[in-house]
Amino acid sequence: MNSKWILYVGITSLLVLISILGGCNKATNENMAEVKYPVKPITVIVPFAAGGGNDIIARTLEKTAIQHLGQPFVIVNKPGGASTIGMNEIARAQPDGYTIGIIGMSAILQPLYGQTRYHYPSALEPLVKVVSTPIIVMVLSNQPWKNLNELIEYAKQHPGELKFGHSGLGTSRHITGELFAKEAGINIVQVPFKGESEALAALLGGHIQLIFADPAIKEHVASGAVRVLGVAESKRLSIPGLDNIPTFQEQGVNIALNFWTGIAAPKGIPYTEKTKLAAGLKEMVNDPEFKKSMADIGMSVEYLGPDEFSDQWIADNRNFANTVKETGIAELITSQKN
């Protein structure tokens, strides 16, 4: 009886030990899987042509990717379709943490103009808001207009003669231009490009008369090639070289907009990968060198994490839906796209 009891106790103890070791093994494997990500480079899709503000943001973040995430970024430009081509690439990518993308207000705006392949606010997952992106209006320095009022007066006397460039139909730059024309009561012709660098080239070549862009191209202001007539925000910029530019509102044009640029992933990215990406991106965005680089090109770093950034998506989606519909801009852009 005693020997049977000893055998029973021994077998039970062995089974308990095996169970404990198995649990430890499982936990160890899970921890190893968690630690391993990422094990290969991370693709960052930029939905615009190289050289513009969004591209500069991606390539500046790329410099510290290995330091903060352990793997490099591979930047892939997918311009066209007012950023929808690139956003489609992000939305349909495997949600495994190895494809992310630069996202601007187009993610919210494009679905307001009609059917898109994906409903981006629900097909993409916000990871981090990076910068606030002010919009400025620029003309060649050899043009006679020194301020918005002079430009408006000229446009009224020459309806349909002035052409403005922007980074794609329905983008924040396009919206700013159309709102400006509507508020000023003028007729100016919009010309879409695949990115701000292309719009700038058209301006410098004299093919268009003004562009709505972000301050990332301010080097051409310093060179004297272009002149900035106004800032479409509620206050003047604090950027050296652009700090004395009056706002639209100061010049009697009641427009004050606030646009942003951030990073998103395909919907459904696993919690572990999302957490590590968000943590790494937080360090990268808040890095003093990154902030300095953004300030140098005229952008203000305004970090928001996944939850706060998601809340802003929801609020902006509601606000801009009302703006573009009430002003008739949504209907106008839809007709232009058709």
> To the nearest 10°, the Cα dihedral for 237, 293, 131, 310?
-160
- In terms of domains, do 186 and 292 share one? no
Q: In the chain, how many domains are there?
A: 3
Q: What is the DSSP letter of 209?
A: S
- In terms of domains, do 159 and 229 share one? yes
As a whole number, mean pLDDT of residues 139-161 equals 97
As a whole number, mean pLDDT of residues 176-186 equals 94
Q: What is the CATH number of the domain that holds 151?
A: 3.40.190.10
The amino acid occupying position 221 is: V
Q: Which of 212, 233, 258 is the last residue of a domain?
A: 258
- The pLDDT assigned to 302 comes to 94
Q: Which residue has the tokens 């980074």?
A: 167
Please report, rounded to a whole number, the percentage of residues in the chain having pLDDT higher than 90. 65
- In terms of domains, do 91 and 142 share one? no
CA-to-CA distance for 144 and 164, rounded, in angstroms? 16
- The pLDDT assigned to 239 comes to 81
- In terms of domains, do 29 and 53 share one? no
Nearest to 103 by CA among 51, 37, 136, 58: 58
- In terms of domains, do 140 and 188 share one? yes
Q: Which of 258, 278, 299 is the last residue of a domain?
A: 258
Tokens at residue 248, please? 């639209």
- In terms of domains, do 209 and 70 share one? no
Q: pLDDT grade, residue 6 (50/70/90)?
A: low
Task: Give tens-digit pLDDT for 62-93.
Answer: 999 999 999 999 999 999 888 999 999 999 99
Q: pLDDT grade, residue 17 (50/70/90)?
A: very low
As a whole number, mean pLDDT of residues 285-306 equals 92
- In terms of domains, do 56 and 122 share one? yes
Is 338 part of any domain? no
Q: Which of 222, 241, 258 is the last residue of a domain?
A: 258
CA-to-CA distance for 80 and 96, rounded, in angstroms? 25
- In terms of domains, do 84 and 117 share one? yes
What integer best gives the mean pLDDT of the chain? 88
Task: Give tens-digit pLDDT for 30-66.
Answer: 444 445 899 999 999 999 989 888 999 999 999 999 9
Helix (H, G, I), strand (E, B) or coil at 237: coil
Q: Is the pLDDT of residue 12 over 90?
A: no
CA-to-CA distance for 206 and 167, rounded, in angstroms? 17
Domain range holding 301? 42-132+260-333
Q: Is the pLDDT of residue 27 over 50?
A: no
- The pLDDT assigned to 11 comes to 56
CA-to-CA distance for 189 and 192, rounded, in angstroms? 10
